[in-house]
């Protein structure tokens, strides 16, 4: 990717890692293993269908594991893999940057939008 040649596989992974829901899912799981409802409640604003789809993709990428327990009612837990844990520091830096610069970015957006009216 760095040499100017497009690498669709790398772009696909970057899209996943930077998606709207991957970051909050990984950061929520950084606290440890969680059940589906704990994840949903901890993230907020995500529908069960969207959460399920994102969890499946992150599992497919080897970033988390899904453990189903044969109980009544069934219990499902999600845990970051060692590979998934490597993202925590990077995501926390990104989260910190966002919190530090959010107001400034909003001001830029407002100025930009005003100039185009």
Classify residue 80: in a domain, yes or no. yes
What pLDDT is attached to residue 73? 87
pLDDT one-digit tens code per residue, 37-51:
999 999 999 999 999
Classify residue 72: in a domain, yes or no. yes
Classify residue 77: in a domain, yes or no. yes
Classify residue 74: in a domain, yes or no. yes
Q: Domain span at residue 46?
A: 8-115
CATH number of the domain residue 49 falls in: 1.10.10.10
pLDDT one-digit tens code per residue, 22-39:
999 999 999 999 999 999
Cβ neighbors of 26 (< 8 A, separation 6 or more) are 58, 63, 80, 84, 87, 88, 91
Number of domains in the chain: 1
| Residue predicted with more confidence, 97 or 7 | 97
Classify residue 3: in a domain, yes or no. no
Classify residue 1: in a domain, yes or no. no
Report long-range pairs for 75-83 (Cβ below 8 Å, ≥24 apart): 75/35, 76/35, 76/36, 77/33, 77/34, 77/35, 78/29, 78/33, 78/34, 78/35, 78/36, 78/39, 79/29, 79/32, 79/33, 80/26, 80/29, 80/30
Question: Is the CB of residue 98 less than 8 Å from the CB of residue 74?
Answer: no
Res. 6 pLDDT band, cuts 50 70 90 = low
Classify residue 65: in a domain, yes or no. yes
What pLDDT is attached to residue 74? 87
Indicate the pTM of the whole model: 0.84
Classify residue 60: in a domain, yes or no. yes
pLDDT one-digit tens code per residue, 56-111:
999 999 999 999 999 898 899 999 999 999 999 999 999 999 999 999 999 999 99
Q: Are strands 75-80 and 64-69 parallel, antiparallel or unpaired?
A: antiparallel
């Amino acid at each position: 990717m760095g040499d100017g040649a497009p690498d669709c596989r790398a772009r696909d992974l970057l899209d996943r890692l930077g998606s709207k829901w991957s970051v909050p899912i990984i950061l929520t799981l950084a606290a440890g293993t969680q059940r589906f409802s704990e994840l949903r409640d901890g993230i907020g604003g995500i529908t069960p269908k969207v959460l399920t789809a994102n969890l499946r993709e992150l599992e497919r990428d080897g970033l988390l594991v899904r453990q189903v327990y044969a109980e009544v009612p069934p219990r499902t837990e999600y845990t970051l893999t060692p590979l998934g844990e490597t993202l925590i520091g990077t995501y926390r830096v990104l989260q910190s940057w966002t919190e530090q610069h959010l107001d400034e970015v909003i001001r830029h957006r407002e100025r930009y939008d005003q100039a185009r009216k």
